[in-house]
Amino acid sequence: MAKLARSQSKGVRRAAKSQRRAAGARKAKAKTTGVLDTLMGALPFTEEQWSRVFMALIIGAALVLVGTIASLSGATALVRVQYAQAAGDAGFALTNVRVTGVERMDEARVYAIAMQQKNRPMPDVDVVGLRAAIKRLDWVQDARVSVQLPDTVAIDIVEREPHALLEKADGLVVIDKTGHELPTAKIENGSVMLRVSGAGVSNPKRMAELEDLFATAPAMEAQITEVEWVGNRRWDVTFGSGQTLMLPEGKLRSVEALKSFAELDGQYRLIGGKAVRFDMRDAPRVYLREPGRADRYELAAGQL
């Protein structure tokens, strides 16, 4: 009987200990759940939004897994089609487009291109093709396109900057620094943009050469209003004063000539003076022409 009493006593103690452990576990669980609920409630998301986020994460992980399995099995195309269909059925289809970076161009043209893929399952959205189509628009220098689950395509536009007015046979057209035409850009009265003319002047290579020329004499650039590419071989530069500087052939020679002219102008104030034309085709010599004089006189570096 004594042994039986001891056995019962041990059993009671074990039961009490088990109950205490269970109670502690329940308290810990309640505390953890309370903390999680508090954190979730503090974040600016609704329960529905959290559900969509979790679903997006699940589908994203599934896409990686499916892609890996498909690559190993050689059934990539078939698996991708089935996966895209499943994603579309789950509500992951293109319905929204967000465009940023647009200031001058008509952003409706961007929306029109993007919405050609409306209701397409998100895994099937052709991001590469969409970017290429948008970059063909006149004002678009570059575009970044990304898919944002569950249903949005984000498009960030880098616009071209108006730089100069190109003289064409049928009038003026705005171009950027690369010579790319922006036919829908408005030309305001009294525009102070640089004017460029001459056959082939808007070629990107030629425009880059012109930028390099200006970079060697930034003080001169601010006073230049027109440039002409003459005979597909050299530049004529016209200043705001109406005076013209004739530069020699060759990129390096024209650069050195403009630098020399800038130095001479610093010494003798040539721009705004009596001469109407400066001929530096035989640089570093400068030949000046004045109105009313049939001859011309020479101005060499350090001499007048």
Query: In terms of domains, do 249 and 281 share one?
Result: yes
Tell me the three state secondary structure of residue 167: strand
Query: In terms of domains, do 294 and 235 share one?
Result: yes
135 burial (CB, 10 Å; 0-12 / 13-18 / 19+) is middle
Query: In terms of domains, do 249 and 201 share one?
Result: yes
Query: In terms of domains, do 174 and 275 share one?
Result: yes
Residue 248 lies in a domain: yes
pLDDT tens digits, residue range 240-281? 999 999 999 999 999 999 999 999 999 989 999 989 999 999
Instruction: Show the domain range for 112.
Output: 92-159
Q: What is the pLDDT of residue 219?
A: 85
Q: pLDDT band at residue 149, thresholds of 50, 70 and 90?
A: confident
Neighbours of 197 (CB within 10 A): 17
> Model-level pTM?
0.66
